[in-house]
Amino acid sequence: MQKIELIALDLDGTTLTPENTVTDVTRDAVRRAREAGIHVVISTGRICGEASDFARQLGADDLMVTSGGATISSVSRGQCTMRMSMPWEAAVRAAAVVERIGMTAMIYVGETLLITPYDDMEFGKYKSNEGYLAVKKVVPSVAEHIAAGHISVDKIFVRSRDTVMLQNARRQLTAIPGVRVMSSAADNLEVITPAADKGTALGLLCRELDTDLRHAAAIGDSENDLEMLRAVALPIAMGNATEEVKALCRRVTLTNAQDGVAAAIDRILAENG
């Protein structure tokens, strides 16, 4: 295998602990990798503002894959440098499905999160980080807002602990032409354009950094990481990853409660020499 020049890190379920924090052990591993000349980039389903918070905590590179691959963002500029949005009509239909079912949702529009008052109340129960608070915009109806403004939507994020409701939503959303439905955890759905995925976006980001996917490693845990893991030379699954992810990857590291990302980075550094 060729020398690794870039490591892409998923956030939730991967780099972040189960409590959504960054450990000193992981932060130190990222620092050592970058000191060794390896790019360490975030590749997440989160929007630019939230991802930037964690990129700074980790000491990662400036460029990030965000919104599940629908955008590439810059930490220093605090904005998207590339967007692959859903077709407008498809986005309106998808937002309407989510509202009609009554699910908690966030709609990603560039650097802004559109949410309803109900969504604001629900997400506010556990989201208090500055990145989220700075980018949210509360509107009475997201579907009506994007329909009236002809607004381009990058991603729709849906959360529910009701398995039947999630299955119903996935069935209805999948039937809409012009969108792709996936998941980053058992309690959510993510809707983006079929043209976008973490692997495609990571390939574009690699070019910006004068490297390529043949010299890249990626670490992930869930369905929305699959394209990224397929694209790189060294795909690594977390110990807590789904069986589908583990079956795809060349190796499995420790869980996100055991600093699995740090262990994977240390092995790459040792193999790089």
Q: Do 250 and 164 have their domain in common?
A: no
| Residues in Cβ contact with 6 at an 8 Å cutoff, skipping those fewer than 6 apart | 38, 39, 40, 41, 206, 209, 211, 215, 216, 217
Rg (CA), the chain: 18
Q: Do 187 and 93 have their domain in common?
A: yes
Q: Do 155 and 108 have their domain in common?
A: yes
pLDDT value of residue 128: 67
Domain end among 137, 164, 192: 192
Q: Do 106 and 181 have their domain in common?
A: yes
Are the C-beta atoms of residues 196 and 69 closer than 8 Å to each other? yes
Q: Do 188 and 103 have their domain in common?
A: yes
Q: Do 74 and 92 have their domain in common?
A: no
pLDDT value of residue 90: 96
Domain end among 192, 218, 250: 192
pLDDT in tens, the chain (273 residues): 689 999 999 999 999 999 999 999 999 999 999 999 999 999 999 999 999 999 999 999 999 999 999 999 999 999 999 999 999 999 999 999 999 998 899 999 999 999 999 998 888 777 767 777 788 999 999 999 999 999 999 999 999 999 999 999 999 999 999 999 999 989 999 999 999 999 999 999 999 999 999 999 999 999 999 999 999 999 999 999 999 999 999 999 999 999 999 999 999 999 998
Per the DSSP assignment, residues forming a β-bridge with 39 are: 6
In CATH, what number is assigned to the domain containing residue 159? 3.30.1240.10
Q: Do 93 and 188 have their domain in common?
A: yes
Q: Output the six-digit token pair for 148.
A: 């009236």
* H/E segment holding residue 59: none
Q: Output the six-digit token pair for 139.
A: 């509107």
pLDDT value of residue 1: 65
* H/E segment holding residue 105: strand 104-109
In CATH, what number is assigned to the domain containing residue 215? 3.40.50.1000
**Residue ranges of the alpha helices (H) in 124-178?**
130-135, 142-149, 163-174
Q: Do 101 and 171 have their domain in common?
A: yes
Q: Do 241 and 202 have their domain in common?
A: yes
Are the C-beta atoms of residues 239 and 4 closer than 8 Å to each other? no
pLDDT value of residue 127: 74
Q: Do 208 and 221 have their domain in common?
A: yes
pLDDT value of residue 110: 93
Phi, psi of 25 (to 5 degrees): -65, -45
Domain end among 162, 192, 222: 192
In the chain, the number of structural domains is 2
Dist. CA 181–CA 158, nearest whole Å: 10
Q: Do 99 and 172 have their domain in common?
A: yes
Can you give the residue range of the structural domain that contains 246? 6-83+196-272
Dist. CA 207–CA 221, nearest whole Å: 25
Q: Do 58 and 76 have their domain in common?
A: yes
pLDDT value of residue 112: 94
Q: Output the six-digit token pair for 187.
A: 């309690």
Are the C-beta atoms of residues 159 and 103 closer than 8 Å to each other? yes
Dist. CA 23–CA 27, nearest whole Å: 6
pLDDT value of residue 122: 85
